[in-house]
Structure 1
Amino acid sequence: MAKRRKIRIKNAREIELMRAAGQVASEILQEVASMAKPGVTTGEIDAEAAKLMQKNGCKSAFLGYRGFPGYTCISVNEEVVHGIGGPRVIHPGDILKIDVGIVKNGWIGDNATTVPVGEVPDETKRLLAATEESLFAAIDKARAGLRLAELCGAVEDHVKPLGFTVVREFVGHGVGRELHEEPQIPNYRPSGKTPILEPGMILAIEPMVNAGSPHVRILDDGWTVITADRKASAHFEHTVLVTEGDPELLTNRPRTATPELLGI
């Protein structure tokens, strides 16, 4: 059996560098998310992200990773994650998932949001709200002394009663000098004993929530993940530091969804 890699605990200097990377990643995400308007192409958004990365003295954490061809991941409607920017035109009623990961001074900031384009149905708004709220339910469990399973389970515990499902094949992860570090962070409560969270752990928590079936498949481009039933999917992500007290969002930004539609 392969030995599981140890979860890296970041020291004070490393945490400062991660704060800087997270802030830049958040700023770039917010700027490119504001471009999500009818008539814009996903390729134009990706190209703008590339310019902003250069302007901010950083590079994409995704470009070239295992051969990935984009600066960002841009996924539309039934596309869950890992979509590639290109000629696809954004239309009113679409939802656009934008995932921005950057490397600054050797350290990674990783975050994602889902943007409604123009007016979308209330059920779509509910999906976005449930997904973003589930992210914050999980973040609230990113506390020293709790087991990782409690954090993971918080996502499904939040969205399942609302009629939504979580993607099981793709998960969040630890993050630092590498894009994907230990631990893996599924959006459901894993079986067995999971690690106890400690101050200095940095986690990329990223609920991927579907309006219909939890099942997904990968398109012929080898990257784009779509829902098997072609129903909509939402994705939100923050890079989070476990501290001695409250969790710290290293990719802090304003919330965007409308939780009042959830009726809870």
Structure 2
Amino acid sequence: MIHYKTSEEVELIKESAQILGKAHGEVAKLVKEGVKTSFLDKIAEEYIRDNAGVPSFKGYNGFPASLCISVNEVVVHGFPSDYVLKDGDIISIDCGVFHQGFHSDCAYTYPVGEVSPNILSLLKATKESLYLGIEKAVFGNRVGDIGNAIQKFVEAKGYTVVRELVGHGLGKNLHESPEVPNYGKRGSGPILKDGLVIAIEPMVNLGTRNIVQERDGWTIRTADRKPSAHYEHTVAIFEDRTEILTTHKYIEENFNF
């Protein structure tokens, strides 16, 4: 069942998303060589709680942290740890905030130090595909139009789209219907109606689209251990417009990519 949001509920999600965006900005200041990923998680959690929010991910089905931190070939759901970022890494940071009864969800992939040009191209294409997907997230379109736009763009560049992991509705729950795949056929899937709030989150691999789940039950990596990129926004669909509720503004003020 899809839960459509009132304009008042969308405003509450937007307030949650502002805390989330600023938490991402605090983390962005610290993404560099020599930093432990567990320290990034600590900074994010402190900021969220200091601003009357709750980290959406911490404790979700037993997840142990506030951030999903996924380095290099890890696609999503990586744990913060004692791993120290090094030159040439890429790091996906995914975070959610629960505030005033509603969740928001947003992700960004960073290059650390000098990253090879082919991997930088993967990051740029994945980020661009997010906005191409959002362009199709308009009233009267269908979910398949979003995934089709993402898939066509990245596959034309020689990359692959993860199939097993998808975007999703969200609101009072972190994951709600509908699922929002990053592939698909135009004109397929649920119709995008007024009050729909969804997280669009392309996960794009440099090599094979195949993935493996590690023994921890969470961490997802590419089967061929080639890098993967991930960007995400929460968006609200209205009859007359689509609004991006989350923001990368505070990231991009603090991290030049």
Length-normalised TM-score, structure 1: 0.92
2:189 pairs with 1:194: yes
Structure 1 runs of 4+ aligned residues shifted over 4 Å read: 190-193
Q: Tell me the distance in 2 between the aligned counterparts of 1:245 and 1:138.
A: 18
Superposed displacement of residue 255, structure 1: 9.8
* Secondary structure class of the residue paired with 2:98: strand
Determine which of 49, 53, 57 is the counterpart of 1:54: 49
* Residue 12 (str. 1) matches residue 7 (str. 2): yes
Deviations 1:193-212 (CA, angstroms, capped at 9, x unpaired): 41110121001000000000
Q: Aligned partner of 1:132: which letter? A: K
Q: What's the CA shift for 1:21? A: 0.7
Equivalent-residue separation in structure 2 for 1:96 and 1:156 (angstroms): 22
Whether 1:227 aligns to 2:222 is yes
Residue 85 of structure 1 aligns with which residue? 80
How far apart are the structure 2 equivalents of 1:191 and 1:136?
A: 17
TM-score, normalisation: structure 2: 0.95
Equivalent of 2:59, from 49, 55, 64? Answer: 64
> Alignment identity in percent?
45
Q: Match for residue 171 of structure 2? A: 176
> Do structure 1's residue 27 and structure 2's residue 22 form an aligned pair?
yes
Residues 90-132 of structure 1 deviation map (CA, whole Å, 9 limit, x = unaligned): 0011001000101001100100000001111111110001100
What CA RMSD, in Å, does the superposition of the two structures yield over aligned residues? 1.6
Q: Structure 1 residue 208 and structure 2 residue 200: aligned?
A: no
- Paired residues of 1:61 and 1:102 also in contact (CA < 8 A): yes
> Residues 50 and 255 (structure 1 numbering): CA distance in 2 closer, same or farther, change over 3 Å?
closer
Unaligned runs of 5+ in 1: 1-5, 258-264
- Where do residues 19-168 of structure 1 align in structure 2 (5 Å cutoff)? 19-168=14-163
Corresponding letter in the other structure for 2:157:
L
Distance between the aligned counterparts of 2:74 and 2:223, measured in 1?
A: 10
Query: What is the CA–CA distance in structure 2 between the aligned matches of 1:70 and 1:245, rounded to whole Å?
Result: 38
Q: How many residues align?
A: 252
> Which segments of 5 or more consecutive residues in structure 2 lack a partner in the other structure?
253-257
For 2:255, the equivalent position in structure 1 comes to none
Q: 8 Å contact 1:36–1:117 — kept in the other structure?
A: yes
Q: Match of 1:27, as an amino acid? A: K
The match for 1:246 is 241
Contact 2:88 2:114 in 1 (8 A): yes
Whether the 8 Å contact between 1:176 and 1:202 is mirrored in structure 2 is yes
Between 186-195 and 42-51, report the one with greater CA deviation: 186-195
The C-alpha deviation readout for 1:223-260, integer Å capped at 9, x for no partner, is: 11000000000000000011223321100224989xxx
